[in-house]
Amino acid sequence: MRKRKLLPLALLLAFSLILAACGAEPAASTDKSAANQAEATTEQPEQTVEPSDKPASVHEDVLVVYFSATGTTKGVAEKIAKLTNADIYEIVPAGPYSNADLNYNDKNSRSTKEQNDKSARPAIGSETVDLAGYTTIYIGYPIWWGEEPRILDTFVESYDFTGITLIPFCTSGGSGIGRSGSNMESLAGTGTWLDGARHSGSISEADLQSWIDGLK
């Protein structure tokens, strides 16, 4: 009688093992599916970033040249250089101008004598500048007696501006740019000269940007 009861018990145990094995299949399948998904994610190609249509720096070929006896023109020149991402070059006189030299009420002051002599060419003390690679030059100066300081004439006669666009700008208490730009154009004999503009020493960057944009 005990042997007859053992057989059903053995069958019951076997059937239980089969059910346990069958129940484990979905879990294994789930793990395999997750592994495949992770592998597929890893193998996805990297996304290609299309280049922007917006150009990078657009002013790498610009130079700002300036002469400033009192610092006013220097301030405007530095603003233009900042806005155009330009290099900057200062025309430094070999002999600095003193306050007495700049006294326009004195007929014997250095600046008065120079401006009255169209052949005067004050020497430049700063090193020469290499213009290779520049396509645009802003050239700034104060207005003296209605014209550019003679040291600007020294500068423009010393270089070849072929293939370069030159944009004069001046600073003054009220005088306009007058014929200074055309004077320098005639003396230079090379380059494409645009009409210049007079700016106050306190001009804002926003107003300068509007002027620069209007030149295009």
Higher pLDDT, 87 or 8: 87
Q: What is the CATH number of the domain that holds 84?
A: 3.40.50.360
Q: Determine the pLDDT at residue 43.
A: 40
Residue 106 scores a pLDDT above 80? yes
Q: In whole angstroms, how far apart are CA 150 and each of 96, 156, 157, 201, 216?
A: 14, 10, 11, 21, 29
**How many domains does the chain contain in total?**
1
Return the structure tokens found at 59. Answer: 């002013």
| Residues 139-181 pLDDT 10s | 999 999 999 999 999 999 999 999 999 999 999 988 899 999 9
| Residues 184-199 pLDDT 10s | 999 999 999 999 999 9
Q: Which residue has the tokens 């789930």?
A: 30
Q: Is 44 exposed, middle or buried (0-12, 13-18, 19+ CB in 10 A)?
A: exposed
Domain that holds residue 141: 62-214
Q: Which residue has the tokens 């806005």?
A: 83
Q: Does a structural domain hold residue 11?
A: no
Lowest-pLDDT range of 46-50, 138-142, 175-179, 209-213:
46-50
Q: Does a structural domain hold residue 129?
A: yes
Long-range contacts of residues 30-38, Cβ cutoff 8 Å, at least 24 apart: none
